[in-house]
A and B are shown apart, each in its own frame.
Chain A
Amino acid sequence: MLNTQNILIDFKNISKTYGNNLVLDELNLSIKENEFLTLLGPSGCGKTTTLRILGGFEKPDQGQVIFDGKDITSLPPNKRNLNTVFQKYALFTHMTIAENIAFGLKISGKSKTYIDDKIKYALKLVNLDGFEDRQADSLSGGQQQRIAIARAIVNEPKVLLLDEPLGALDLKLRQDMSYELIRLKNELGITFIYVTHDQEEALTMSDTIVVMNQGYIQQMGTPEDIYNEPQNAFVADFIGESNILPAIMIEDKLVEILGARFACVDIGFGKNKPVDVVIRPEDIDLVKPEEGTIQGRVTHLIFKGVHYEMEVMANGYEWLVHSTDMVEVGQEVGIHVDPYDIQIMNKPESEDEEAVGINE
């Protein structure tokens, strides 16, 4: 369990509806100090709403937000000790970069020299020294993004909220920026709460990932946990590519998939219980037909740079397989999976836990 002393933010039973649209349903979430926590989920699942409730821009219909031990549920945004980097940067276009960065400092009544030092420091931190007198809309998207970050962090917030900050940038810039965000987080030593629908971003940057769907938290854990041990079909499907197959748990450590029995490591599901199994494509070994648990034929082959992506038709299912070794289309193969690479999950109990194939 988490050490309560370490917890900075606590969402308690937060619900939020817009009209008839239930966006968040009794959400509970604890965020630790100095954590890089990512809210991950498909578009419309309530990530932004969660962030806006924390920022103070929306009031939950029910529940409380605890920050640093205090209930801040009805505190207005300008009284909260956290800052937000908005999705579309939201720079003040009629001000210079320096004025943008100084905005919060001026409000808190800091001295001129303090402000000037802070501007210099912040611009250096985001690698934009000397941009003080530029006009906001003369900058590129990536530069504006950094200014938005600089403007937020000069106020020394305990928490920085970032809503899809890289969403509008192109691929290369996105990768560079994500490394920079990690560096910033380490230099500043504050809590980052990061929203994205991009699982790759989430996996590379986060200490903790919270996977959301339809207003519910599906799974919370380290990137490794989430990737290797998805707790339901939705998470498995949303994080990376995977083979999700209906199966029957014959007994502890033995599962029947498509009529063939595989050894596994899971226990405690009961006997002859219908379950779902997740097998990551890179965990499937293609072997000689007689060495495999089941047999099939390769139907598709694509070269993906680092690996080959193949589809194998076996026992009426198209298995997705990633491998550095190539097997020609039409060739007979056997499928082998190591016991610890088979992830057993309970059948979905509600719609939001089902695999939906959304993968933006």
Chain B
Amino acid sequence: MRNTFRKIYLALILILLYAPIATLIVLSFNSSKTRSKWGGFTGKWYISLFQDTSIMNALYTTLIIAFVSALVATIIGTAASIGINTMQARSRTFFMTVTNIPMLNADIVTGISLMLLFIACRFTLGFSTILLAHITFNIPYVILSVMPKLKQTNKSTYEAALDLGASPVYAFMKVVFPDILPGVLSGFLLAFTMSLDDFIITHFTKGPGVDTLSTKIYSEVRKGIKPEMYALSTLLFVSVLLLMLLINMSPKDTKTAKHKVFNKAMIFGRVIPVSMILIIVSGGIFYHVESGQSGSEQVVVYNWGEYIDPDVIDIFEEETGIHVVYEEFETNEIMYPKIQSGAIAYDVVCPSDYMIQRMIENNLLAKIDFDNVPNIANIDPDYLEQSTSFDPTNEYSVPYCFGTVGILYNKTMVSDPVDSWDILWNEKYNDNILMQDSVRDAFAVALKRNGASLNSTDVSELQKAMNDLIKEKPLVQAYVIDQVRDKMIGNEAALGVIYSGEAIYTQQENPDLEYVIPKEGSNVWIDSWVIPKNAENKENAEAFINFLCRGDIALKNFEYITYSTPNKAARELIEDESIRNSSIAFPTAEDLKDCETYRFLGDDVDSYYNELWNKVKAS
């Protein structure tokens, strides 16, 4: 009786612990792209994973950083352990505590402090800073596993070796080292695993163009559904699991098992390093070929994830001979401090409207020399006009993509006409409404519905918007961001607030869906290219912007990104008539009449919005 209870309890714990990973593994074999649908078993994500050179590059970077950082940390950590071990008891305790603290420290603290240190020392963030960071956080793990072995070793064996004529180094290598070898090896493996596993510290210390698997997965997943990433995460999980098993098996030293352990140590000592070296050498050749063209001319691009057709970069490099170092961000708020700190000299960046306004106000941007960007003529003047709301003189930015916010609805589930935000307050659709889980988008809906500006700073307008949102809340099924798309495709909701770019995609997957910009007006957003003040290759940046404004190139990007393009020349080149005339992709001036871009309202108003939004969420 008690036994079965115990078993059930154990099973529950295991399920809780491993259910998320099991889901991930299952999804990695799902041939359907949506999370909510099982489309049959497939291994294709694993195959396409290994065909993606950027992922293979990230894999190689990950392995070399894990191997080199573990190796260096093992050498330093072992030496440190020996030093600590010879100390007096009191200073030994002190040093052990000091070396243990970084392990207990939150990764984010370690990551940010390392980043600050690197910036202070004028290091350029990149491969070498990741490596240094990994060495740093790996050392304590090595000390942790070598120390107990050192304490166990009989100090007099070392002295016996000296006594028999050995030099201190020889005595250490022949006598002490074999004794602590299991600890050194498991320290190495532990460090290797920790490095493989790390995301946060890498995230803060990496520079453009360098990615480890974990940062790659992160940036890819942010972009949308990419089952290859489930496959990659599964592989990462399995390798970390295997390494952990190896580590836990290695340092067993009961007297009887000693001989066997020694053989295992041979495996650890020979087989693993040799295979590692093989991987690194072959990877190095591969890597070298890949990045062989890195000449002197380059341009460092900082863009949203999935926001350019990779072919476009290849064509640009081919035509101009300028090497593109490409780095992605996930939100404006992550991008901004990186530009502000100046840790990395980006040449060309693609922020959103309100963020451009903020960057101009904070004097972070350089004026673009439009003599170098003749293709600006391809940009629809309407959008240059729209841009004046954040770049009043049109001197700092070149529009790249734009979109609107509107209502996506399922024709089979909604009988009323959809032309107003009012429908989101219709009790008929109780529990069938999806709202955006972000403060400005949520308030834009309520403000626009009442005929106010979505940049309102009027307290009474805002209070009213808040009360309306609280009234709406019981009808709302969920406040979400990415999932609007999936849930609408899967017929899980009738109405959802969505971005136009995603609306086009959902229509392809589910023809019952329709997109509308409500008659009260909405938000129109514009992402534009800008050049930071500290750009080191300003002319290359202008060449890059000019290239992107070319009709054929803008068309390629439009087809890849599927967000609306302000490029007239590109639109004329679209072959598919239904797309060329799509009112979602290319809203008329009439559609946009009452649409506004977001403006940065200042920190005080910002926090007032957040305060109100928290009240809505808490209601």
Contact = CB atoms under 8 A, between A and B. Distances in A.
Given A135-B259, A137-B255, A90 B159 contact: yes
A104 B171 CA distance: 11
B166 interface: yes
A151 interface: yes
Interface string A103-146: 11001100000000000000000000000000101000000000
A90 B156 contact: yes
A50 interface: no
Interface residues of B, number: 23
A108 B161 CA distance: 13
Contacts of A308: none
Interface residues of A, number: 25
B160 A90 contact: yes
A92 B258 contact: no
Contact of B178 (A86, A94, A107): A94
Contact of B163 (A83, A87, A92): A83
A84 interface: yes
Interface in B165-206: 165-168, 170-171, 174-175, 178-179
A156 B167 CA distance: 19
Interface in B458-476: none
B262 A94 contact: yes
A151 B165 CA distance: 12
Contacts, number: 67
A179 interface: no
Given A94-B178, A94-B179, A78 B166 contact: yes
Given A57-B159, A86-B159, A151-B164, A92 B175 contact: yes
Contacts of B156: 86-88, 90
Contacts of A46: none
A108 B156 CA distance: 21
B162 interface: yes
Contact of B164 (A76, A87, A104): A104
A78 B162 contact: yes
Interface string B134-163: 000000000000000000001011011111
Given A135-B259, A137-B255, A86 B160 contact: yes
A82 B255 CA distance: 32
Given A90-B154, A94-B179, A137-B258, A155 B160 contact: no
Interface in A54-103: 55-57, 76-78, 83-84, 86-88, 90-94, 103
B606 to A, nearest CB: 63
B380 to A, nearest CB: 78
Contact of B161 (A76, A87, A103): A103
A84 B170 contact: no
A90 B166 CA distance: 15
A90 B157 contact: yes
Interface string B259-270: 100100000000
Contacts of A92: 157, 160-161, 174-175
A107 B170 contact: yes
B154 A104 contact: no
A151 B175 CA distance: 15
A76 B162 contact: yes
A151 B164 CA distance: 8
Contacts of A155: 164-165
Contacts of B157: 90-93
A94 B154 CA distance: 13
A107 to B, nearest CB: 4
A82 to B, nearest CB: 8
Contacts of B162: 56-57, 76-78
Contacts of A152: 163-164
A152 B154 CA distance: 18
Nearest to A151: B164
Q: Which of A56, A86, A91, A151 has the most CB of B within 10 A?
A: A86
Nearest to B157: A90
Nearest to A79: B165
B158 to A, nearest CB: 9
Nearest to A19: B88
Contacts of B165: 78, 104, 107-108, 155
A90 B167 CA distance: 17
A94 B265 CA distance: 12
Contacts of B175: 92
Given A92-B175, A94-B178, A107 B255 contact: no
Interface string A335-360: 00000000000000000000000000
A84 B259 contact: no
Nearest to A101: B164
Contacts of A87: 156
A103 B173 CA distance: 13
| B165, B175, B179, B255 — most chain A CB neighbours (10 Å) | B165
A87 B156 CA distance: 9
B259 A78 contact: no
A232 B255 CA distance: 49
Nearest to B162: A77
A93 B174 CA distance: 11
28 contacts: A55-B163, A76-B168, A77-B162, A77-B163, A78-B162, A78-B168, A83-B163, A83-B164, A84-B159, A84-B163, A86-B159, A88-B156, A90-B154, A90-B157, A90-B159, A90-B160, A92-B160, A93-B157, A103-B161, A103-B164, A103-B166, A104-B164, A104-B165, A107-B165, A107-B166, A108-B165, A155-B164, A155-B165
Interface of A: 55-57, 76-78, 83-84, 86-88, 90-94, 103-104, 107-108, 135, 137, 151-152, 155
The list of the 5 closest CB pairs from A to B, nearest first, reads A104-B164, A90-B156, A90-B160, A77-B162, A107-B165
